[in-house]
Every structure is written in C-alpha cells, then in structure tokens.
Chain A
Amino acid sequence: MTRTGRWIGRHLVLFAGFLVLLYLFTPIFVVVLMSFNDPKSRLSYEFDGFTLRNWQDPCQPFGLCDAVSTSLRIGLLATVLATALGTLMAFAMVRHRYRGRAATSLFIFLPMASPEIVLGSSLLALFVSAGFGGVLGFWTILIAHVMFCLSFVVVTVKARLAGMDTRLEQAAMDLYANEWQTFWRITFPLVFPGILAAALLSFSLSFDDFIITNLNAGRTVTFPMYVWGSAQRDIPPQINVIGTAMFMLAVLLVLGGELARRRRSR
C-alpha cells in the first residue's frame, strides 16, 4: 500500500473512533446544555435561551432536593452496608473451604441474573406478607438496594482477592506481622482497589435504581422517581443541573484516581 493509503487507513480508524465517542457523549452534552435552558413554556423540550438561574437555585422545583437527598442517603447507606457485607462474603468464599461454597457462588449470581421487575415485585410481595405493607419507604428501599448491590460487591471483590498471591500474607507473617497486622498492612491495601470499585458501583446502582425502588417505595420519592414523575408533566431544567453535577463529580473522581495512580507508579 502507498503512504497516502496507509495514512487514510490509520485516520479512518481515528475517524470511526471519533464518531463512536460522539455517539456516547451527545446525550451527556444535551444534559449539560439543558441545565442552562430558559424554557418559554412548562412543556418545552427545546433550548429556548441561556440562563444561569437553574444553577443558582437548583432546589426551586418543589420536592426535587428532598428526592436527591433521599437518594444520596439511601445510596451512601446501601453502599456502606453492601460493601462491608459483600467484602466479608468474598473473603469467606475465596479464603475458606466449606460445605456449600459452590452453591453460594451460584446463589450470589441469581439477583444479577433475574429481571429487576421480577425482583422488585417479589420483594413487594414479601414485604407486604411480612406485615411491612404500611411502612414501605426509606428502610424497605434500603433493604432492597443492599440486596441487589451485594452480588456486585461480592463478584468485584472476589475477582480482586482471587488474583492476590497468598504467599504475600505468608511472607508478612514470616516477617513478624501477626494476623491483625498482616490483614491491615498487606491484605487490605492490596484488595482495597477492588473494594473501592465495588463501593462506587454500589453507589451508582443504588442512586440510579428506579424499577425495584418504585415498587417498594411507598410514599417515599427518590431522585429517579422524581424525574420519572415530572417527565409525565414537564421536566424542570434543574434536573439537568443535578445530572450535570453528578456527572462532573464522577469525572473528577476518575481523574483524581488516575492522577493518584500515576503519581504512585512514577
């Protein structure tokens, strides 16, 4: 092939990559754009004019910030509980041999494999038949979220733990570290990236969830439910503000992590 032919070949790939990125980022770009929208009517889905008002007062639509706060509280609590429980489970499953270990691995996969709508409706049936029908709300949502996050935490931490050489812990014990020191000095720091990944995953799963939450929420409203509800009537541009803020936060977290990683390996 000629040099120009190769040049085109190389840049064709680049061009295709650019198109894919465009495809991925266009929705996000629209969210960011709409957060600065100044709609003419309540039912406008068009960009009518630029304003900073939405950013200055994101809590203006009634109930929006309450919903965000509920979602954040549930997300954080579910993350902490699911990560702690799931990490312990992953350790048990990787490090110990016991009866029913294979079965546990299989059962852990089931919630991930079942359709959310099925999980949500059976959970509702369970809560109601257990007599919690009248108190559906924050706590039932939390229980549901911990339940479906758990599987993801176990799978993520297990993968990290399985790749870890147990001889490192033996080496630590050989070098005068007792069980406690070995865990905190060697095991935990090495498994931590897996635990962190599991926690981030849990949080975004919980914050995002609509189907299971909607079935078990009672009168409590989470952010996704608020968005769904307002989409029936109008979408206040402040929702885009919250969306953009969440997106920026995630980008900052990723960038920060990447920077820290580069500094460490330098």
Chain B
Amino acid sequence: MAGDLVLSGLTKRFGAFTAVDDLDLTVPRGAFFALLGPSGCGKTTTLRMVAGLEEPTAGSIGLGDDDITGLRPYKRPVNTVFQNYALFPHLDIFENVAFGLRRRGVKEIRRQVEEMLELVELVGYGDRRPAQLSGGQQQRVALARALINRPEVLLLDEPLGALDLKLRRQMQIELKRIQTEVGITFVHVTHDQEEAMTMADTIAVMNAGVIEQRGAPAVLYDLPATTFVANFLGQSNLVAGTILERSGEDLVIDAHGSKQVVPVKRSRVADGEVWVGIRPEKVFLARAGSETDTGANSLRGGVVTDVSYCGVSTQYLARMPWNQELTVFEQNTGARDTFAVGDSVDLHWQPSHTFVLDARQDATAGVEAEETG
C-alpha cells in the first residue's frame, strides 16, 4: 500500500538474546499507532530499527514502495522523538528546530521554524537554550524538531515518560491534536497502557520480542487474545474452567462447579481447559443468594476481603470458595448496594462480556509488568 510502513520477518539478536523475534507488522499511512509493552519487550529496538539506528539481524523494513532496511538513518524519511529528547545543548531552540532543514539545504528556514514553534506553542522561545526550558517545553521542542521535516513516519520513543502525570495527560491530548492536524503516521512506543489507549487508533501489544495482539484499543480491551494482553491492558479476572459442550452459537463452560455461557466467537479455543475471563468493571456484586438476571453468568459463594473507595468507583476483592481472589469495580452511582469486608457476595456478569483463553497460557502473564510501569 502507498505510504504504509511494513515490517516483515524483522529480527534483532544481541548475542544470544533475541530482542525482536520475526516481527510482521503493517502500520497504515496516517495512523496513530502504539507499540505497547513492558520494558525489555523489544518495542524500542523495533523503533530504532525503523529509524536506522539499529541494524536488523534479519527481515526487512518497507516504506511505501521503498525498501529502507539498509539505508543510513539520515537517508530515511523518518524522524524520531527521543525518550529524553536528546536536544542539542549547545544550540538554541531555533537552531535545534532548524537542524534538519539546514542539513537538507532547505530555503525559508525562519518562516518554517516559526510556524512550527507556533504549532507547539513555543513562540518567543527561539533564542533560549534547551537547559532553560521545562521538561514539557523540551518535549515540545523535540516534537517540533522532528515534525518540521514532514517525515513520512514520526517515531516517538516513550516521549512522555519523563513528565509528571498532569503534564503527561495534557501532552497526550496535545500530541493527538497535532497528529490530526499534520496527518503524519505516528508510531508511538510506550509501556503506559492508558497512554496507548487514549492516543492511538491502533495498538500492538508486544511481549518478549513478539506481538501478542494488534487492533483498536476498544477491541483489544474487550476481547484480549492472550492472558498477557488481558492482564497488561487493564485488569482481568481469569477463572479456570473446562468447555463442556457447544450449544448453538454458545459454549457451555464449567468453572468450579457453576455453568458459564460464552458466545463461541468470544472464545480462543473450542474445547478443553480454558481461562474464563471477565473485566472487573463488568462484574455486578450482589448479596449472596440474590436473584440474577436471566441468562447472566454467575459465580457464587464469595466473601469480601478488601474494600478500596476510589471516589468514582469502589474496588472490591472477593475470595471465592476455591481460594482465588477476584476483583470487582462498582461505580459509585448510589443506585447499587455497598459491601463491607466479611460480607457474603455473588458475582454476576453478561455472557457477552466474557472472554475465553487457552488454559496453557500463564494466568499471571503481564501482571507484574503492568505494576512496574
């Protein structure tokens, strides 16, 4: 396709360690694409290979009709916003932004730089040095310095990692606005799942050098393909179960003695041992023995072990008879019961919110990784 970034069979090994393993990925032109994964998953290495700063061990990188695999970094129509910005400390802001244009011998540099400083709201900062700017301002200079070259692809390597939370939220919206305005393909590497979901229109979740799943944020969140995605992107309750039979468009699954119904298309496996997955906010908490909606899945016999009040919602932990703790988020709308530690509860949810994963996968994959992020 015209202008698409295509990685095929891309592999990078450092000695015996495989950082990126036979990666196939197509980033459509104009997309805001997020590569999401824990540190050390190979996402930055992938980005550096696209930029030309790292040489692939195998595979190829295509941009539109051109194979750019072997090109030197300065020959690629690709620019990077580096993790710690890498602004040139001995040049002022104007010269930092103008650097790419000067190297390519472009005319009318002043006008373009001023336009770009306007876009990132740094008019009047041209004669300052990078060290005189705040973190957020430096970040925008780094963005302007890359964007001014109108690259076909803009690579962003954890560009907001060094900013505090409030500024990060602000810059997320800003980045999204700028991307819509300039229409350049953005490939954004991050370990922050919330950042990826807010900004990107497509996310590829990466783990141990391979892509676990790619798709729109809502699709990935709603129907994760692996336990890693289920845990890394948001939180999930994964309950062990066995597929009993298929009935029409549904699967009937036994989970610790209670029958769960799940649409066939929401299951990754057709029979055998599975993980029955449900997002904590999709679960309704009810007093033990209460009636359920017809057709709802339920797990009974839980005891509340922890209650955390978070303002908009309350987070409960319920210990089930098989000694697993499940997480439930209840919106504090005032319409629902509240519970205290020690209360006996049942858990209900809609079959259409359930997802089913292969039990051979590790149920805790991606859990710690998300906490350290």
A: which residues have CB within 8 A of B? 165, 167-168, 170-178, 181, 185-186, 189-190, 265
A–B Cβ pairs within 8 angstroms, 28 of them: A165-B84, A167-B86, A168-B86, A168-B88, A168-B89, A170-B51, A170-B82, A170-B86, A173-B52, A173-B53, A173-B72, A173-B73, A174-B51, A174-B52, A174-B53, A174-B78, A175-B99, A175-B149, A176-B74, A176-B100, A176-B103, A176-B104, A177-B99, A177-B103, A178-B74, A181-B103, A190-B89, A190-B90
- How many Å lie between the Cα of A174 and that of B151 in the bound state? 11
Among B123-158, those with CB < 8 Å from A are 129, 145-146, 149
Q: Are B89 and A175 neighbours in the complex by a CB distance under 8 Å? A: no
Q: Are B74 and A177 in contact (CB under 8 A)?
A: yes
Instruction: Identify which of A175, A186, A189, A265 contacts B100 (C-beta below 8 A).
Output: A175
B89 proximity list for chain A (CB < 8 A): 168, 190
B103 touches A171 (CB 8 A): no
Do A178 and B72 contact each other (CB < 8 Å), given the known contacts A170-B53, A190-B89, A265-B129?
A: yes
With the chains together, A176 CA to B103 CA distance in Å? 6
Question: Which of B73, B84, B99, B104 lies in contact with A167, CB distance below 8 A?
Answer: B84
**How many angstroms between the C-alpha atoms of A181 and B52 in the bound complex?**
17
Indicate if B227 sits at the interface (CB-CB under 8 A): no
- Return chain A residues, CB-CB under 8 Å to B100: 175-176
Task: Flag whether B80 is at the interface (Cβ < 8 A).
Answer: yes
Contact A174 B129 (CB under 8 A): no
- Interface readout for B80-107 with A: 1 if CB under 8 Å, 0 if not? 1010101111100000000110011000
B344 contacts the other chain (Cβ, under 8 Å)? Answer: no
Point out the residues of chain B lying under 8 angstroms from A174, CB to CB.
51-53, 73-74, 78-80, 146
State in angstroms the CA–CA spacing of A178 and B74 once bound together.
6
Minimum Cβ distance to chain B for residue A34 (Å): 44
**A residues within 8 A CB of B88?**
168, 171-172, 186
Cα distance A178–B145 when bound, in Å?
17
CB distance from B266 to the nearest CB of A (A): 43
Q: How far is the CB of B151 from chain A (nearest CB, A)?
A: 9
A265 CA to B72 CA, complexed, in Å: 34
Bound complex: CA A181 to CA B88 (Å)? 14
Residues of B within 8 A of A167 (CB): 82, 84, 86
10 tightest A-B contacts by CB?
A175-B100, A176-B103, A171-B86, A173-B73, A167-B86, A176-B74, A174-B80, A177-B103, A175-B99, A189-B90
A-B contact count (CB 8 A): 59
What residues of chain B have their CB less than 8 Å away from a CB belonging to chain A? 51-53, 72-74, 78-80, 82, 84, 86-90, 99-100, 103-104, 129, 145-146, 149
The complex places the Cα of A171 from the Cα of B79 at a distance, in Å, of 9
Expressed in whole angstroms, the Cα–Cα distance for A173 and B104 within the complex equals 12
CA distance A173 to B89 in the complex (A): 16
| Shortest distance from the beta carbon of B88 to any chain A beta carbon, whole Å | 6
With CB as the reference atom, state the residue of chain A lying closest to B78: A174
Closest to A169 in B: B86
Bound-state CA distance A178–B76 (Å) is 12
- Taking the closest CB of chain A, its distance from the CB of B127, in whole angstroms, is 10
Q: Give which listed residue, A165, A168, A170, contacts B73 with CB less than 8 A.
A: A170
Is the Cβ of B145 less than 8 Å from the Cβ of A175?
Answer: yes
| Chain A residues within an 8 Å CB radius of B104 | 176
The distance from the CB of A95 to the nearest CB of chain B, in whole angstroms, is 15
Q: Which residues on A sit within 8 Å (CB–CB) of B149? A: 175-176
Residues of B within 8 A of A181 (CB): 103
Chain B residue contacts of A170, Cβ below 8 A: 51, 53, 73, 82, 86
Report the Cα distance A265→B90, complex, angstroms. Answer: 10
> In the complex, what's the smallest C-beta–C-beta distance from A261 to chain B, in angstroms?
12
In this complex, what residue of B is CB-closest to A182? B74
Q: Give every chain B residue within 8 A of A168 (Cβ-Cβ).
A: 86, 88-89
Smallest Cβ-Cβ distance to A167: which chain B residue: B86
A168–B87 alpha-carbon span in the complex (Å): 7
For the complex, what is the distance from the CA of A171 to the CA of B129, rounded to whole Å? 17
- A178: shortest Cβ distance to chain B, in Å? 5
Q: Select A171's contact among B52, B78, B80, beta carbons within 8 Å.
A: B80
Known: A168-B88, A171-B80. 5 other contacts (CB 8 A): A170-B86, A171-B82, A174-B146, A175-B99, A176-B149
Assembled-state Cα–Cα distance A167/B89 (Å):
12
Residue of A nearest to B83 (CB): A167
In the complex formed, the residue of A with least CB distance to B105 is A176
Chain B nearest CB from A173 CB (Å) reads 4
Q: Determine if B90 and A173 form an interchain contact, defined as CB atoms under 8 angstroms apart.
A: no
